[in-house]
Structure 1
């Protein structure tokens, strides 16, 4: 399919951590965006958020539609009408699923993906490309020896097989990983079986950090899963011994959003998987960035609560990693460094706390 440089696109899960940044990145690059949200309140939040960026795009470039239940058949039928591309980012990421692994994680991810694709197949006559927000969880195969460098050719089959064996009783973390493999496999199978007139791309990021712009008003307990872990580090949740354990790989939420946009704008992206990453990390690396802050961004009380550990030793931890070179080379993504990711995230969280967690990020956060 040809590259798509303009037009109207659909973003499912638009009110989420990465979804909000994706909508903003698309709007800033001239696209009209329709976002699906679970409530009018979430849609109004996004409208107000994007209106604060009036200097970047016209007021009528963003609209929202309600899709309360991702698993409900036909939930996206109207949403896909008249758009040139679809970004599917609506999928659960949490570990609150003890005894309900299928109900809370696997089925919403798989059925939500199938629902979107069925709606596109039946009603999305103008759609040329579908980009699915998958995960590194669909790539990393735990049966491989450590350290292994994973790339887009790899698939996590272990947790998918375990899901079939354990069902609702699968460990929530393993079930989340299974859900990403099963949902992405379902998408690729759909394309093959239906012989669709559009092409598919998946984006498979690892652990995501970076400043939030979605609705976290009300307090730190409103933060999404990854930012809750980050917030916890700054407030004493980690000990010295926690810092030099494998953390996995990480990427900035803004780089994830840009990867999605560029996957739309590059013709050769069709049929590809992309795994954007700034590289492997440990919480020692994050602590080093916190204590190495020379700009006065980190509040002193946050520094005191963050263990110092053994500065500079994070790179010595043996762990698996993700190769992000394909995304950088084919899509032109320039990854943010770990210190930049950490300090920008700190700046945003500090801004929210200083404003007593009132809704909407400040202009300085949007400018990061």
Structure 2
């Protein structure tokens, strides 16, 4: 019997590529979308780094979240869709609207195409940014009942993730006609880079290994991308995944200075430039006046971002590796692929 065909949107993405690797390993056939076929060779090269040369078991379709073209063709014949493509605006994007509209409309394009093609279930790659942002201090870990408070201090990317996930649930309820939906909400995603185009969370580790002078007092959950991919597959196929959202975090959240400490302890000479210093908040706020990256982290200074993945473990039997393993795997891949400053 021929294995089911799964559409993975945004095949150039870090999480998407690890989802493709996991699907191929489990025998699925995969189709993925790219904005231009010029990037097919790069995607295949990254998959090869991850240990897969799928040949004909992987197909490519050109489709962009900003236009209708290609989505019907992409979804045709698919049993499942993993929708990980998300607009990440370049510097020319200035307003909330530039983030939000493409994310919300893009989700609806994919969901409509999936519904019309008779897809059984869509798994949406959402984010912790749709769960734990804009709140006051929490006396407990965040869970799947929580939604980011858009009346609070929420960055445009997190606003786009919140509104696009809410829009997806509303669409399935009102217009889904039996289409099933599940959502995966990862915290900061680490794990093996497959090439130079990797997630912004890996930039945290790269910055430390490259010798940045210290870390802001920021707390984050972490999770390995291979476990995020496994959670997507469980949410896709497990009966208990239907209609649920799942937080992806490995154990307790960590302060960035703790992450630096793990690198120093585990990576030996490769981590000789890593500083375990916590930068004082006043210094970060001062830097924020001229550096947009610093400005983005100011609302997170000193805020505990702990969350729980108890639901995914209980309902789906998900069992992620530790945050420390994810941190080390990230650093090892950066060394192996020679992606660190000399």
Q: How high is the TM-score relative to the length of structure 1?
A: 0.79
Q: Which residue of 44, 52, 60 corresponds with 2:56?
A: 60
2: distance between equivalents of 1:97 and 1:322? 33
Matches within 5 A, 1:14-25: 14-25=11-22
**Correspondence 1:145-156 to 2 at 5 A:** 145-156=137-148
2:9 is matched with which residue?
12
CA contact (8 A) 1:76 1:115 kept: yes
Partner of residue 193, structure 1: 174
Equivalent residue for 1:44? 41
On the 8 A contact 2:210/2:340 being kept in 1, the answer is no
Change (3 A) 1:226 1:51: closer
- Unaligned 5+ segments in structure 2 are 279-301
Assess if the C-alpha contact under 8 Å between 1:27 and 1:57 holds in 2.
Answer: no
1:51 offset after TM fit, Å? 5.7
Could you tell me how far 1:339 is from its partner in structure 2? 2.1
CA distance in 2: counterparts of 1:19 and 1:115, whole angstroms = 18
RMSD of aligned alpha carbons: 2.7
SS at structure 2 position matched to 1:237: coil
Structure 1 residue 113: deviation in Å? 0.4
- Please list every run of 5 or more consecutive structure 1 residues that lacks an aligned counterpart in the other structure: 163-170, 217-221, 311-316, 358-368
2:105 match: 111
Distance 2:341 2:134 in 1: 42
Of residues 71, 74, 84, the one that matches 1:76 is 71
Partner SS, residue 25 of structure 1: helix
Aligned to 2:28: 31
2:81 to 82, 86, 89: 86
| Equivalent runs, 1:1-368 vs 2, <5 Å | 6-50=3-47, 59-67=55-63, 69-93=64-88, 96=91, 99-103=94-98, 105-122=99-116, 124-125=117-118, 127-158=119-150, 161=151, 174-213=155-194, 215-216=195-196, 222-239=197-214, 242=215, 245-278=217-250, 279-293=252-266, 297-298=267-268, 300=269, 302-309=270-277, 319-353=304-338
* Displacement of 1:59: 3.1
Alpha-carbon offset, residue 26 of structure 1: 0.5
The alignment of Structure 1 onto Structure 2 pairs a total of residues equal to 317
SS of alignment partner, residue 82 of structure 1: coil
Label 1:95 to 1:143 Cα distance change in 2 as closer, same or farther (>3 A).
Answer: farther
Shift of 1:309: 4.0
Equivalents in 2 of 1:48, 1:303: separation in Å?
28
Using a 3 Å threshold, how does the CA distance of structure 1 residues 282 and 233 change in structure 2: closer, same or farther? same
TM-score (norm 2): 0.84
Q: Secondary structure at the match of 2:155?
A: helix
User: CA–CA distance in 1 between the matches of 2:320 and 2:55?
Assistant: 30
* Segment drifting more, 35-44 vs 107-116: 35-44
- Equivalent residue of 2:82, what SS? strand
What secondary structure is seen at the aligned counterpart in 2 of 1:77? helix
Deviations 1:305-342 (A, max 9, x none): 211349xxxxxx87131111111122222222122111
